Amino acid sequence: MVDPNTLLHYTNVFDAMLDAVYVALKNLNVSAAVPVLVTETGWPSYGDRKEEPYASRDNANTYNSNLIKHVVTDKPGTPMRPGAQASVYIYELFNEDLRPGPVSEANWGLFHGNGTPVYLLHVNGTDGFLGNDTTDRTFCIAADDADEKAVQAAMDWACGPGRSDCTAIQPGQGCYQPNDVRSHASFAFNTYYQSQGKAGGSCYFQGAGMVTTTDPSEYFLFINSDAYR
Ligand SMILES: *[C@@H]1O[C@H](CO)[C@@H](O)[C@H](O)[C@H]1NC(C)=O
Ligand SMILES: *[C@@H]1O[C@H](CO)[C@@H](O)[C@H](O)[C@H]1NC(C)=O
Ligand SMILES: *[C@@H]1O[C@H](CO)[C@@H](O)[C@H](O)[C@H]1NC(C)=O
């Protein structure tokens, strides 16, 4: 949108909020040389299914990936202050499972408390964010937060119209144990995911699937603070 007062053109609310701060500082006669930091910005990956439908892994991944791209690789700065890039901090590294309040409050993290990733934040075109490139060793499993009916429906799709070979999870076959919906679905989801060459969206399953790595302990986040400045 175009700001009718300044005629500056905005493509995102992040820039508009920063410029609002710059205008406020200017009105208070604060020198433009005073650095501005964005100390918290992010998106929750999970929330109350009725009240907070936009708190989802997909949206969190989209927001944080676009944020990094915008801050690190796009033309830096805002329409009002082109070239002047504020330092930006993602909120937040870990989920805070004991946080009270709306469900989303406990779900802003890139990682669960036990160190496994909530979603795989792929940062392309920038070095220094993800330490280990797990692109080639990702797997698709049933999401912890998806309900069992959704997981079952997605498995039925994967083994039916999705044409995954689900022989191995039939009774008596090698992957029948453990015999529960999530384990079977994870097999079916991953078979489909691999058959699609791990294409974007092929682990979605209406939110019932999630991308992961086999050995989450190898997965670590490496934040090179220089990349943010
Ligand atoms: C900012 O500076 C102008 C010009 O010197 C002055 O009129 C105004 O009162 C100042 N505003 C504040 C908030 O100090
Ligand atoms: C990463 O960026 C390169 C160069 O811009 C592009 O060729 C490649 O397809 C991108 N990879 C992914 C996974 O987006
Ligand atoms: C991840 O990085 C660590 C430290 O560099 C290394 O020891 C480990 O082998 C890497 N894991 C993979 C899967 O590349």
Query: What does the pLDDT look like over 107-126, one tens digit per residue?
Result: 999 888 877 778 877 665 54
185 neighbors 192 (Cβ within 8 angstroms): no
pLDDT (tens digit, 9 = 90+) per residue, 53-68? Answer: 999 988 998 898 888 8
Q: How remote is the CA of residue 20 from the centroid of ligand 1, in Å?
A: 18
DSSP assignment of 161-220 equals TT----GGGSTTSTT--S-SHHHHHHHHHHHHHHHTTT-TTTT-GGGTEEEEES-GGG--
Please tell me the distance from the alpha carbon of residue 173 to that of residue 38, in angstroms, as a whole number: 54
User: Please, what's the largest Cα pairwise distance for the chain?
Assistant: 76
Residue of 218, 219, 221, 224 to test ligand 3 pocket, by largest number of atoms within 8 Å of CB: 218
* Amino acid occupying residue 220: F
pLDDT of residue 113: 80
Residues of the chain with pLDDT under 50: 126-134, 214-229
Share the mean pLDDT of the chain: 83
pLDDT (tens digit, 9 = 90+) per residue, 147-174? Answer: 999 999 999 999 999 999 999 899 988 8
Asked whether 217 lines ligand 1 (CB < 6 A), one says no
Domains present along the chain, CATH in parentheses = 1-132 (3.20.20.80), 135-229 (1.20.58)
